[in-house]
């Protein structure tokens, strides 16, 4: 369905027709959708990270008795669930986690898997983890945290030939 996100009346008309809004719009457009959902008392589901602006709608969403469910796609979402499954399995067998590293991307189409042992490839927009409101990557080993500024995670640009 084509529509202009900046046309508030059209946005409200579309949101008002739904019981649950599933937004697959780019993350930068989720705020007006979430605001319309709160105003019209419609649930919202999206795969995007929770932004500071969306977080500020929490009390209004609760007062409207609606759910704003985010971070339930692949990254974030499926990666969180698969990580928790692994962590629960380790703990259920009496193990103790000493390190954890997560790699996220996209699921491959079965006919394109080839010999990829992960059955996985990187498909997300790398710019999303460079946003200033996201937490910088961090790691912990024996409760010692090392924080890395996001800018240090990208190599210096090189010309391509």
Q: How far apart are CA 108 and CA 114, in angstroms?
A: 10
Separation of CA 156 from chain center? 26
Q: How far apart are CA 154 and CA 126, in angstroms?
A: 10
**Active-site annotation, residues:** 75
Beta bridge pairs of residue 54: none
Asked if residue 82 has a cis previous peptide bond (ω within 30° of 0), the answer is no
- Which three-class secondary structure state does DSSP give residue 47? coil
């Amino acid at each position: 369905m084509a529509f202009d996100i900046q046309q508030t009346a059209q946005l409200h008309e579309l949101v008002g027709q739904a019981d649950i809004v599933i937004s697959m719009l780019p993350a930068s457009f989720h705020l007006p959708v979430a605001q319309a959902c709160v105003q019209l008392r419609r649930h919202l589901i999206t795969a995007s990270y929770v932004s500071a602006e969306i977080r500020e709608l929490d009390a209004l969403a609760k007062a409207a008795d609606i759910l704003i469910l985010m971070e339930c796609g692949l990254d974030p979402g499926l990666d969180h669930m698969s990580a928790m499954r692994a962590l629960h399995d380790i703990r259920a067998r009496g193990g103790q986690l000493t390190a954890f590293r997560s790699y996220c991307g996209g699921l491959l189409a079965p006919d394109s898997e080839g010999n990829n042992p992960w059955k996985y490839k990187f498909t997300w927009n790398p710019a999303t983890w460079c946003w200033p409101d996201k937490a910088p990557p961090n790691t912990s080993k024996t409760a010692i945290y090392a924080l890395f500024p996001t800018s240090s995670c990208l190599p210096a640009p090189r010309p391509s030939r």
